[in-house]
Amino acid sequence: MTPADLSRALFDLVTASAERRRASGASVSLELAPDQIVLERPKLREHGDWASSIALRIAKQFGTNPRELAGELAEGLAAVEGVASAEVAGPGFINIRLDAAAAGALAKTIVEAGDAYGHGTTQAGRHINLEFVSANPTGPLHIGHTRWAALGDAMSRVLRAAGAEVANEYYINDAGTQMDNFGASVLAAAKGEPTPENGYPGQYVADLAQRVLEREPHLLEFPDEVALHTAKEIAYELQLAEIRASLERFNVHFDVWTSERRLQQRGDDGLSDVDTAVERLRTQGHVFDADGAVWVRTTDFGDDKDRVIRRSNGEYTYFAADAAYYLDKSDRGFTHKIYLLGADHHGYVHRLKALAGAAGDDPERDIEVLIGQLVSINGAKLSKRAGNIIELDDLQAWLGTDALRYTLARYPADSPIAIDPEILQRRTNDNPVFYVQYAHARTAAVDRNAASVGVDRSSFAPELLEHETESALLGALQEFPRIVAQAAELLEPHRVARYIEELAGLYHRWYDNCRVLPLGDEPIGDLQRTRLWLNDATGQVIRNGLDLLGVSAPERM
């Protein structure tokens, strides 16, 4: 019996109770769906497999006290096939215990579902644009970008697992002053001159300059403006290619790469997307003219001040590009936009939400802006190429993709992280990623060893899974779909990491107490075969959880 089955049974009992009360003349106002009946795992195993507080939630609508209603529901649950007992606790909680066969049946369900176990439909119908990383193409990705890459990709994976259609998007800030400064820095390096004021230092600039000269040997013979433009464009192309390659090596894939330049390019009508964005916002009634400039009344939507979108000299502000980009996402069919921004972008939260409102969307429903906090790694060395940052490539080479991705996705976005590299490099249980991966490798080893002595899954007798560690393990396995749905709803993939760590611990305890392989001359029976189902189900769930975090599940360690 799955949690969904149990929720449905409890829903049917609640509905029947409401109908009986109405039939007797009572007024019962009840609006409830099966998925609104939430089951929780009790903290103490002796309290049962599941607990529900539904009686406390709806007793007032039923015109009765919670404990009386809980007693009525518990009596009905006790008669449901697969439920061993249902008891009332405290002011109206219901503690539910499944019989061994009903609980153990889940092991076969998981193995047969395979990679799909844990996936659901709670986010079905949502078309989400998820923007993260979006570093300027003026240098290599650094430690901050590394965190947003790991976290953003994990968010995308859990959202897709919950049924959403998600596009991972990278916004290329390839227009404006910073690109001109970048080009000037590369050209200066090519000439052997010092880095210009407001330029970009670092060995990587010198390396780019050398590659630019290899691509265009006559660069230094060009007129200054042509040389600057050429150096900027070639270096931009090379640096963006490096960023793409770094992300792919980190197992992070972007579906869409959107260029800021494209939004500023003028079409046949002489207008750019930025030009039309201003007029589109004006039709919504939130644009006004004052002091020769064009403004958006973002204070209508909680911003601390109205924003200039076009200055009195006719130049657009960054806000104009943001507006054009937001509308561009809407035009591509994305009804929900999620932005994952760095710690220095707090000012963007109200601005982007106000922009959504000015565009006619609901700022509380159609857009989410998450601000990630800083991450530090003890002992990490600044990049030799960049000089003033810790590069993604260096971190990956030092700590490994799995350890880095798992650790960075293991904490919520708004939590600062201080990583101890010594722990991440240990092959011990205090290293979370090793602990989880080792549990998976152990399930694979059990599978191999079972095959070598003739234990297979040719029979399945779930009623034999009676050991207390089996009950605890099965209870945790049942939780995985709910954890995935919750992680997607709250945009918190760290819940998956914490869950599979708990699952790994329960598996290790089961492994220490329950043997799959027969001892000595003990004959192979249904108990060994059924435990193999449970072993393989656990491995499948750990593997599915690691995949949601973009981390591998090794079969040997």
Residue 287: phi and psi, rounded to 5, are -110, 140
Question: Which of these ranges, 12-21, 128-137, 430-439, 503-512, has the smallest mean pLDDT?
Answer: 12-21
Report residue 384's pLDDT band, with 50, 70 and 90 as the boundaries: low
Per DSSP, the residues of 56-98 read HHHHHHHTS-HHHHHHHHHHHHHTSTTEEEEEEETTTEEEEEE
Token digits of residue 498: 């914490």
Per DSSP, the residues of 385-442 read TTSSS-BHHHHHHHH-HHHHHHHHHSS-TTS-EEE-HHHHT--STTSHHHHHHHHHHH
Does residue 510 carry a pLDDT above 90? yes
H/E stretch holding 152 reads helix 143-161
Report residue 383's pLDDT band, with 50, 70 and 90 as the boundaries: low
Report residue 37's pLDDT band, with 50, 70 and 90 as the boundaries: confident
Q: What is the pLDDT of residue 382?
A: 64
**Which 3 state secondary structure label does DSSP give 305?**
coil
Report residue 488's pLDDT band, with 50, 70 and 90 as the boundaries: very high
Report residue 500's pLDDT band, with 50, 70 and 90 as the boundaries: very high
Task: Please state, for a pLDDT cut of 70, what percent of the chain lies above it.
Answer: 99
Q: Indicate the pTM of the whole model.
A: 0.89
Q: What is the pLDDT of residue 527?
A: 97
**Which 3 state secondary structure label does DSSP give 122?**
coil
**pLDDT single digits (tens) 275-316:** 999 999 999 898 999 999 999 999 988 888 899 999 999 999
- Quote the DSSP letter at residue 8: H
**pLDDT single digits (tens) 322-362:** 999 999 999 999 999 999 998 878 888 888 999 999 999 99
**Which 3 state secondary structure label does DSSP give 341?**
strand
- Quote the DSSP letter at residue 202: S
**pLDDT single digits (tens) 148-203:** 999 999 999 999 999 999 999 999 999 989 999 999 999 999 999 999 999 999 99
Q: What is the pLDDT of residue 462?
A: 95
- Quote the DSSP letter at residue 218: T
Find the farthest-apart pair of alpha carbons in the chain and give their distance in angstroms, rounded: 96
Q: In what order do the strands lie in the sheet with 93-98?
A: 39-40, 50-52, 93-98, 83-89
Q: What is the pLDDT of residue 195?
A: 95
Task: Tell me the Cα Rg of the chain.
Answer: 29
Q: What is the pLDDT of residue 385?
A: 67
What does pLDDT average to over the chain? Answer: 93
Q: What is the pLDDT of residue 276?
A: 93
Q: Which domains does the chain carry?
A: 3-98 (3.30.1360.70), 132-260+373-423 (3.40.50.620), 427-548 (1.10.730.10)
Nearest Cα residue to 320 out of 256, 264, 259, 262: 264
